[in-house]
Chain A
């Protein structure tokens, strides 16, 4: 599996890297799942703002999805911003219908993907680690960017 490591020195760089991954995925497939890992405040939402820009979604329209859990954007293909922060247990995931979202022709980015008992086949993973106030290490696996 392709593993790429980056050091981001600012939220702008994190957003730009998200945009780069987004463009790569959108150009190569109509259906994809990106699993995001990282602690509170690591910069997952910022990364997703960049990612979603590749689908024509304005960064202002991406916020925290913790409240709604699944935010759906009517792009082509459909974009799902999923945030599992408040989800505990497989039963809750099943009833949320998460697997149906992921099986459809859509691009889904999942925050707090550690809550998934299994990573979906072929999913790209993005791990953001806190280094210092501005610096983050970002490890992208499964995408040849």
Chain B
């Protein structure tokens, strides 16, 4: 059985063909990052226009690399949200037309469910496990009991972890996306240089990164009252980046630790774009070792947005008979 996956939820146009539930035959991600970098973030109208330009090429390339003809595709799995509505509409519109024209069943997949199933594309996590999804749009903690059986333990009350990275990067006059560049600066800085707040919210598994964002802004104002970031020496900026990153990573690792202890489950899956962060990967592994827990860390290309993960989750929907009609409409806000 072959599934064609399509994801256009944010700034990457992606298509993938998988065989069965987990063998990747192709996974094409056409990043728009270079274009959006110029604007310091995603520009929604640019994003949807780029998706329109790219989607047929990307899907075609995914089929070619998978050496698969359209008639051998059993189902098309498309991301139906959450994400940028204009971008999602391009993917869903394309998937619906293709499915209708070629007589292929359509499956709608929640983007978060895609992230949850990403690690299955290269390993076999055992249920139940605690899953941390941390990206530019989401920071949520789930208990995953099996396909379709998800218990939300907590989520961010304000900004997502990746969003905090992007906003801090913008304050520091750095390029978009913020994660990789702050990660690099942090490697040369002292994580203890500035004591930024950590919102542990001990009564819940929720997250909050808004206070941290405000604290970094005020620290910068104190160092450069005239707002001229360029005057701040690079070692000071590296220290701020390292201290900020330490605050984010401390909270993410501690919350996962609480969750596995409270639930008595020693299995962890880390996923979403922020999971590509080197410090988070290192510290989560250290905590998992100390707790005698098994940690699944997907490779970076599967942490970030990609269509193979949509196809992997779509496979389960398809075999369960959960087929979408042509009335499938994406939603920007779509809880799992």
Q: What is A's interface to B at a CB cutoff of 8 Å?
A: 39-41, 45-46, 59-61, 63-64, 66-73, 85-88, 91-92, 95-96
Contact = CB atoms under 8 A, between A and B. Distances in A.
Interface of B: 10, 39-46, 82-86, 136-137, 155-160, 163, 167, 171, 206, 210-211, 213-214, 217, 331-333, 335
Residue from B206, B211, B214 with most neighbouring chain A CB atoms (10 Å): B214
Contacts of A68: 82-85, 137, 332-333
B39 A41 contact: no
Contacts of B217: 39-41
Contact of B156 (A63, A87, A95): A63
B44 A96 contact: yes
A130 to B, nearest CB: 8
Contacts of A59: 157
Given A40-B213, A41-B217, A86 B43 contact: yes
A66 B210 CA distance: 12
Nearest to A86: B41
15 contacts: A63-B157, A64-B210, A66-B159, A67-B136, A68-B332, A69-B44, A69-B332, A71-B332, A72-B333, A73-B333, A85-B41, A86-B40, A86-B43, A87-B44, A95-B45
Given A40-B167, A63-B155, A95-B86, 10 more contacts: A45-B158, A63-B156, A64-B163, A64-B210, A67-B137, A67-B163, A71-B332, A72-B332, A72-B333, A86-B40
Given A67-B137, A71-B332, A40 B85 contact: no
Contact of B160 (A67, A92, A96): A67
A88 B332 CA distance: 20
B43 A92 contact: yes
A70 B163 contact: no
B83 to A, nearest CB: 7
A124 B206 CA distance: 32
A40 B214 CA distance: 7
Contacts of B155: 60, 63
Contact of A88 (B39, B82, B136, B211): B39
Nearest to A42: B214
Nearest to B82: A68
The 8 closest A-B pairs by CB, nearest first: A41-B214, A95-B45, A67-B137, A86-B41, A71-B333, A68-B332, A64-B159, A45-B158
A115 to B, nearest CB: 12
Given A40-B217, A41-B210, A86-B41, A64 B160 contact: yes
B84 A69 contact: yes
Nearest to B86: A96
A63 B203 CA distance: 19
Contacts of A45: 158, 210
B42 A86 contact: yes
A87 B190 CA distance: 34
Contacts of B335: 61
A110 to B, nearest CB: 15
A17 B209 CA distance: 22
Contacts of B40: 86
B98 to A, nearest CB: 25
